[in-house]
Amino acid sequence: SADSLRRSNRDKTPLICLTYYVSAAATTAHKNPHSISHSINHDAIHHNYKNYLTAFSAIEEPRNFVEASKDKRWVTAMKTEIQALEGNSTWELVQLPPGKRPIGCK
């Protein structure tokens, strides 16, 4: 029919720049008999060791200044950062002018 799409007959070759591109999301149609999941079973890890490993990833970053100011590690980090910024003359800390509100940042 006149409304059907024309398909190209040209050979499709991958772009040179993508020749060595590796994607973690890429999958293959066949199963790998030597997959790491066949060698590692998380169920076999002792619960005490799981708890030990979980402790490292359980530290949550504060969502705002109030939360950060309650943790001495974050207070130390903030002081160090301000000292570095002042030491490099990146900016200087000044009083907020009367009637002005501070801007937010992320």
User: What is the full DSSP assignment across 38-81?
Assistant: GT--GGGS-HHHHHHHHHHH-PPPPSSHHHHTTSHHHHHHHHHH
Check whether 1 has a pLDDT greater than 90: no
Q: How far apart are CA 106 and CA 85, in angstroms?
A: 17
pLDDT digits (tens, 9 = 90+) for 5-43: 777 788 777 777 766 666 655 555 556 677 766 666 777
pLDDT digits (tens, 9 = 90+) for 49-96: 888 877 776 678 898 889 999 999 999 999 999 899 889 988 877 899
pTM (predicted TM-score): 0.39
Using the 8-state DSSP alphabet, how is residue 28 labeled?
Answer: -
Give residue limits of the domains in the chain: 63-90
Residue 97 confidence (pLDDT): 93
Q: How far apart are CA 93 and CA 87, in angstroms?
A: 12
